[in-house]
Structure 1
Amino acid sequence: MPASTGARRRGAVRSEEARLAVLEATGRLFAARGYDHLTIEGIAAEASVSKQTIYRWWSSKSAVVADALIADMLLPDRPVVPDTGDIRADLIAWMQDLIDLVAQPGNDGLVRSLVAAACESPDIGARLNDALGITATVSTRIETAVAVGQLPADLPAMEFVRALVGGFVLHSLERTEPAPDAAERLVRALLH
């Protein structure tokens, strides 16, 4: 029956308070233990809700983590592209910060989790992209660098950003130890 006829959805009513408690608990547990040691059971206990409450809102741990990141309750100090006036150095520094973040104990599953959440739901993928602002922020920086002559005039900004982020994601999915100069090599390869 349509909602306008007064029909109610079956099952327990979703609680915004419980949803926020879960996101906050996810952020606290992630900060304390890292992604790899995060469990739905642990999140439920920390948030004082049942596992069923979590599964009413999210389909998986990846989806909870993605929403916590989107809600700014996870990685409050996430890396941003610096703006020193040297786009190459700034991109290398940003990429190195991302690599270092993922290399921290317990965080290696984070990128895989976000990729999985985005694959499960196009909505989550779009919301992650919007919340993280990577595509918009980095492409704007690239366009500015092109405008001031730091990068070639024919450099396609959006494709460059996708290749840069894709290189980082691929590295994370491969689960290999990064070379000490991995960030520099990736940026240099894309700019040649």
Structure 2
Amino acid sequence: MSMERRPGAVRSEKSRLAILSAASRQFAEKGYDHLTIEGIAAEAGVGKQTIYRWWGTKTALVAECLVEGMLIPVPLRPQGSGDLRADVEAWVRSIVDFIPGNESLMRSLIIAAAEDPDVATTMNERLGILPTNDDDGALPMELVEAVLGAIIVRSLRRGTFDEGFAERLVAVLLPDTVA
């Protein structure tokens, strides 16, 4: 998923968008486990070697669909209403509401980011989940990491997210805020 130019033909934006659209549509229809490079290439009208030249793996392709906003309709960054507890609870709830039916995507992206520094860097930079020093009013990095860590651990161990998960997690992380 590196943005550096790879050897071969110049990347066509039209083909790139066709591939991303096909991957996103097929992902939504079939899920990650049944997504194939062959099927994506056929729908996009490109050779599968083109896909592999631009994205080394299926996970890298799906990760780019994610960072392009084509997979997850959830705000990946908490919204800032001024009520920290309510904002974090709403953010956690929106993430865990997305997970049912998308468990394998979550696990695949976690693994891809852990194994491929380019995927991790791109997701961090382009998704804007993690705050930077430039973000006015951003949540502390440690709070964001604690929330995401809890969600990642539960996803990896294939645990469920019941109705009160967001509220309980926020109560543990922000015990001194008013409910």
Q: Please indicate the TM-score interval, normalised by the length of the shorter structure.
A: 0.7 to 0.9
Please tell me whether residue 65 in structure 1 is matched to residue 62 in structure 2.
Answer: yes
For residue 122 of structure 1, what is the aligned residue in structure 2?
Answer: 117
Deviation of the 1:66 alpha carbon: 0.5
Please tell me whether residue 13 in structure 1 is matched to residue 2 in structure 2.
Answer: no
Deviation of the 1:140 alpha carbon: 5.0
Letter in 1 for 2:46: V
Q: Distance in 2 between matches of 1:51 and 1:120?
A: 23
For residue 184 of structure 1, what is the aligned residue in structure 2?
Answer: 167
- Residue of 98, 103, 126 corresponding to 1:108: 103
For residue 30 of structure 1, what is the aligned residue in structure 2?
Answer: 27
Please tell me whether residue 95 in structure 1 is matched to residue 92 in structure 2.
Answer: yes
Q: How many residues align?
A: 165
Letter in 1 for 2:84: I
Larger Rg: 1
Q: Deviations over 1:135-162 (max 9, x none)?
A: 128x75455xxxxxxxxxxxxx111211
Deviation of the 1:35 alpha carbon: 2.8
Deviation of the 1:100 alpha carbon: 0.8
Deviation of the 1:30 alpha carbon: 2.3
Alignment gaps of 5+ in structure 1: 1-8, 144-156
- Residue of 138, 158, 164 corresponding to 1:175: 158
- Residue of 54, 72, 75 corresponding to 2:51: 54
Q: 1:36–1:184: structure 2 CA closer, same or farther, 3 Å change rule?
A: farther
Q: Distance in 1 between matches of 2:130 and 2:41?
A: 33
Q: SS state of the match for residue 136, structure 1?
A: coil
From the two aligned structures, give the one with the greater helix fraction. 1
CA RMSD in angstroms comes to 2.2
Q: Deviations over 1:101-129 (max 9, x none)?
A: 011x2x11111121122123212211111
